[in-house]
Amino acid sequence: MWPAVFTALTLSASAQRHEWRAVGGSPDFMHHSPLRQITPRNVNNLKVAWTYDTGDASQGSEMQCNPIVIGGILYATTPKLRVIALDAATGALRWSFDPFDGAPERSKFRNRGLMYWQDPAGKDRRIFVGARHFLHALDALTGRPVVSFGTSGRIDLRENLGRPVEAISLALTSPGVIYKDTLITGFLTSEGLPAAPGDIRAYDVRTGAMRWAFHTIPRPGEFGYDTWPKDAWTYTGAANSWPGLALDERRGIVFVPTGSASYDFYGANRVGDNLFANCLIALKADSGERLWHFQFVRHDVWDRDLPSAPTLVTVRREGKSIDAVAQITKSGHVWVFERQTGKPLFPFEEREVPASEVDGEVLAKKQVLPLKPAPFSRQNFTEDMVTRRNPEAHRVVLERLRRVLSGGQFAPPSFQGTVVLPGFDGGGEWGGPAFDPESHLLYVNANEMPWILRIVPKPAAGASASGRTLYVRNCAGCHREDLLGSPPEFPPLKDIGGRRREPEIAAVVRNGAGRMPGFAHLGDPAINAMTRYLAKGENQVAVQSRADSPFDMKYTTDGYNKFLDPGGYPALTPPWGTLNAINLDTGEYSWRIPFGEFPELAEQGMTNTGSENYGGGAVTAGGLFFIGATNHDRKFRAFDKRTGKLLWETTLPASGNATPAVYEVNGRQFVVIGAGGGKSGAKSGGSYIAFALPR
């Protein structure tokens, strides 16, 4: 019977208001629901309505999906990237699709959501999902591949990027948007070299044929080409849009946030401002034509990717409503622009910034920062902010802080180490903000974690190199020279030979995976030497190393290092995570509270510290703001959206590092969240849990 219910609901415009039809609730990425059944007065009565355990959780796995709910059916992904369709009222499984067709997959996956499309008659309904470098089209009723799309139901996103397919490593982790019958998407690629160029591309939803592409690394004759070395478009990469897009359906404008160019931390081979890296770009959705852009960081060497899709908002100025777009940043800022022109709605300034002392590096002389709203994360780690958790922690952190450079935003990467605050994860992160169209409040959850960025030389490139030398030159910037990695983003490789066979290791070294580049350009002897070093620790046989210029950078980093105290807690005073409500009409904060805590510290009386948090929230017309996100306490919370007062909380089986969805089925309002955990060594999970008021 469920397809009949599906048809009735999807064809009803009023029913669509009760659904969660796209990641972020709608293509405008507002994270807003018009539902009012659950209110501040009754939210304390919320109970678990249903739970669905995917059975796919494993040590270190994550599940960051924001489900979509259409026609009484909930669509989501599992830690192993299966697509599932559940009855949204009961959690009963309707169908499941495995993009790997049963083949064992040993890697950790991330997926933040799906895309839905139906034809005007409602007869053809499709779910689109990314799995590694493939984009799959599924029949929404059955879960079967739509064989008329691409090749047997999928397209290879490595194609049509102007580089050899076998040399490209990328993954689709955040969904794109669909405008009429056009699917528009970015992707995740390597932050090192080689890396795919971050083209934004549009595809026919029926056939998979590519309709247009926007080159974020401009080619000869294109706008912005003169902000790069003349041949950079042939070898450099990234400037990609990995966190998702937002769409103004009425105007036909897609808003694209981009990240830094590769290599993230040293740019001697990409001298210039590097348009369209670190930009918000407004494109015509039907053609890819650029309408306007704004660059937040010129020649980025701090990994200042735009961390989330922008949010389409409406604000009031001088008694008039203005359609705008709001973009949060890793650096802890909110920028607001007129939607059609790109004119900033709050003042900003250009500041002269320090030059780099690292040879070959040419930083931009000036950078921009907004003057309003005030930053939602602290900007500079100073001695008065050193942790006071206990005297020993204070002493150790203070001594270390005095040995590194801490100069606030745009302090250049250095050989002694430079504090980056907010850190590489933000500040703002991929969960993104929520916007309440009634109050014009923007809700942003944020991190307050310093990191240390240290530049180190690579071993010299000679006519020959050992397996260890090749590893240090090409891999230690992420996985560290000691092979211990920087979990969970960059896993440890120590003793990997006991977990994977040599052919598996060699395949990843050669082809890459997601954010990791492939090193096929080094040649088989080098790949074999690195494989033997990783698998067995062998380092006796020297090999001829092929010249890998222009990928051969003189410097790398010593890894991704959080600045922690001796107990493993952030090196600065709390709050370590915050929840912020900002009035976009005025740029003033309505409220701001610490967000999350460490249970073991709370037991010692150190409460309300805030903690790292990943995943967004959802705001409702009923007066509530729902959010999981906090890494350590595994809480799912509801706040009064006007005041920030905590009204309800529950403990999840694993942390809810995902954005909740709010919907109504058969007159009953539900709030559902994925409890995937797995970040920062936390317990992993694989359950979707829906809450509702008792019947």
| Cβ 337 vs Cβ 460: under 8 Å | no
- Going by C-alpha positions, the residue among 2, 1, 6 that lies closest to residue 123 is 6
Q: Look at residue 461 in the predicted model and tell me its pLDDT.
A: 65
Give the pLDDT confidence score for residue 11 in this predicted structure: 45
Structure tokens at 513: 């995976």
Look at residue 544 in the predicted model and tell me its pLDDT.
Answer: 53
Sign of CA dihedral 398, 402, 403, 409: positive
Is 462 a residue whose pLDDT tops 90? Answer: no
Closest of 257, 240, 174, 178 to residue 211, by C-alpha: 178
Query: How many angstroms separate the Cα of 678 from the Cα of each of 326, 612, 686, 687?
Result: 30, 13, 10, 13
Position 540 scores a pLDDT of: 54
Rounded distance, CA 261 to CA 243, Å?
A: 15
Residue 182 phi, psi dihedral angles, 5° rounding? -125, 125
- Name the band, by pLDDT with cuts 50, 70 and 90, for residue 10: very low
Distance (Å) of CA 530 to CA 524, 543, 620: 10, 10, 53
pLDDT, one tens digit per residue, over 349-393 is 999 999 999 999 999 999 999 999 999 999 999 999 999 999 999
256-273 pLDDT tens trace: 999 999 999 999 999 999
Instruction: Write out the H or E segment, with its range, that includes residue 405.
Output: none
pLDDT of residue 8 exceeding 50, the answer is no
Q: What percent of the chain has pLDDT over 90?
A: 81
pTM comes to 0.93
d(CA 319, CA 527): 64
pLDDT average, residue stretch 663-683:
95
Instruction: Give residue 15's pLDDT.
Output: 67
Residue with tokens 């598996």: 504
pLDDT at 463 over 70: no
Could you tell me which residue, 88 or 518, shows the higher pLDDT? 88
Cβ-contact 643, 61 below 8 angstroms: no
- Report the C-alpha gap between 82 and 106 in whole angstroms: 14
pLDDT band at 552 (very low <50, low <70, confident <90, very high): confident
- Separation CA 550–CA 234 (nearest Å): 10
DSSP, residue by residue, 593-654 = EE----HHHHHTT-------B-S-EEEETTSEEEE--BTTT-EEEEEETTT--EEEEEE-SS
Count of Cβ atoms closer than 10 Å to residue 463 Cβ: 8
Q: Can you count the helices (H) and strands (E) in the chain?
A: 9, 45
Per-residue pLDDT tens for 235-253? Answer: 999 999 999 999 999 999 9
Q: How many CA atoms are closer than 13 Å to the CA of 514, on its beta-carbon side? A: 15
Q: How far apart are CA 261 and CA 265, in angstroms?
A: 9
pLDDT confidence bin for 543, thresholds 50/70/90:
low
pLDDT bin (cut points 50, 70, 90) of residue 4 is very low
Q: How confident is the model at residue 672 (pLDDT cuts 50, 70, 90)?
A: very high
Q: Using the structure block, give the residue that is written with the tokens 């009963």.
A: 92
Query: What is the DSSP code (8-state) at residue 225?
Result: G
Instruction: Give residue-wise pLDDT tens across range 522-536.
Output: 777 777 787 888 878
- Supply the pLDDT for residue 502: 78
| Domains with residue ranges and CATH for the chain | 459-552 (1.10.760.10)
3-state secondary structure of 670: strand
Give the per-residue pLDDT at 534.
82
What angle separates helix 524-536 from helix 502-511, to the nearest 10 degrees? 130
Distance CA 574, CA 214 (A): 42
pLDDT in tens, 469-491: 777 777 877 888 888 877 666 77
Contact 229, 360 (CB under 8 A): no
Q: Is a pLDDT exceeding 80 seen at residue 132?
A: yes
Q: Which residue has 């935003």 as its token pair?
A: 409
d(C-alpha 26, C-alpha 526), whole Å: 48
Smallest CA-to-CA distance from 559 within 488, 484, 496 is with 484
Nearest to 70 by CA among 178, 145, 202: 178
- Amino acid identity, residue 44? N
Q: Alpha-carbon distance 626 to 503, whole Å? A: 46
- For position 104, what pLDDT does the model report? 76
How many Cα atoms are found within 13 Å in the side-chain-facing hemisphere of 275?
15
Alpha carbon distance 413, 355 (integer Å): 10
Residue 401, both tokens: 């802080």
Taking only the tens place, the pLDDT of each residue in 188-198 is: 999 888 999 99
The overall average pLDDT reported for the chain is 93
Distance CA 659, CA 657 (A): 7
Statement: residue 212 has pLDDT above 80: yes
Give me the residues paired with residue 490 across strands.
486
Residue 592 sits at the vertex; the CA angle it makes with 590 and 593, to the nearest 5 degrees, is: 145
Q: What confidence score (pLDDT) does residue 468 get?
A: 83
pLDDT confidence tier of residue 519, bands split at 50, 70 and 90: confident
pLDDT at position 239 is: 98
State pLDDT tens for residues 605-633: 999 999 999 999 999 999 999 999 999 99
pLDDT grade for 507, boundaries at 50, 70 and 90: confident
pLDDT at residue 9 above 60?
no
Task: Specify the long-range contacts of residues 522-528, CB closer than 8 Å, at least 24 apart.
Answer: 522/470, 522/474, 522/546, 522/548, 526/465, 526/470
Identify the pLDDT of residue 428: 98
Give the pLDDT score at 351: 97
pLDDT of residue 203: 98
Strands, sheet with 646-651, edge to edge from the N-terminal-most edge strand:
32-33, 617-620, 624-627, 635-640, 646-651
